[in-house]
Amino acid sequence: MDCKARAAIASCVAQFGKLDIWINNAGIFPEISTLDITDADYDRLMNLNQRGMFLAARDAAREMVCNPAGGVIINIVSVSALIAATNSAHYVAGKHAIAGATKAFARDLAPHGIRVMAVAPTLIRTPGVETGLAGSEESRKALEAFIDRIPLGRPGEPDEVARSVFFAASDLSAFMTGSMLLVDGGELVW
């Protein structure tokens, strides 16, 4: 992961001369009971969801400090950065870590003109969610129960997350840093 991020940053700089925006959007979501999480399960998730995002943001920031205009780093977290869910203790811990790192990076990088934001989506209609809704009755019922907790009554669409990322990356949010944008259909207002 670390080498891939550095290669992507180098490729961007080679092609465009600078790095203006970096979006961290990688993660896995294995559902495992807290009592059943192995050290290997924990390490695999944290290496990608937390360590990979942290180091990629750091490497992006190291490039952005060379840009007089600064830049924007956006971490895609999850509503799990704010709440907990069953069978996901390691996932929730990783998302909380990234939410905290977003704030710390924002404080450290602001003097360099670099803003750092987080976007926290809820359940989004992805191929995996579609498979779950069409899958076993147990899987479908679990997803339907999740959807019932969303006041807007549906999963989000990928484009709705993309619009929030666009806002965070644009000058429309020029006076925002360390903030987390919720893309949750009202889930957290309950």
- Catalytic residue positions? 91
User: Which long-range contacts does 83-88 make (Cβ < 8 Å, 24+ apart)?
Assistant: 83/188, 87/31, 87/32, 87/33, 87/34, 88/29, 88/31, 88/32
DSSP-assigned beta bridge partners for residue 115: 72
Q: Measured between alpha carbons, how far is 139 from 137 in angstroms, rounded to an integer? A: 5
* Largest separation between any pair of C-alpha atoms in the chain: 55
The closest of 24, 111, 22, 106 to 65, measured between CA atoms, is 111
Q: In the numeric block, which tokens belong to residue 8?
A: 């992507």
189: alpha, beta or left, given left = phi > 0 and alpha = psi -120 to 50?
A: alpha
Where does 8-152 show beta strands of DSSP type E?
Answer: 21-24, 71-76, 114-121
CA–CA distances in Å: residue 50 to residues 94, 122, 155: 5, 18, 25
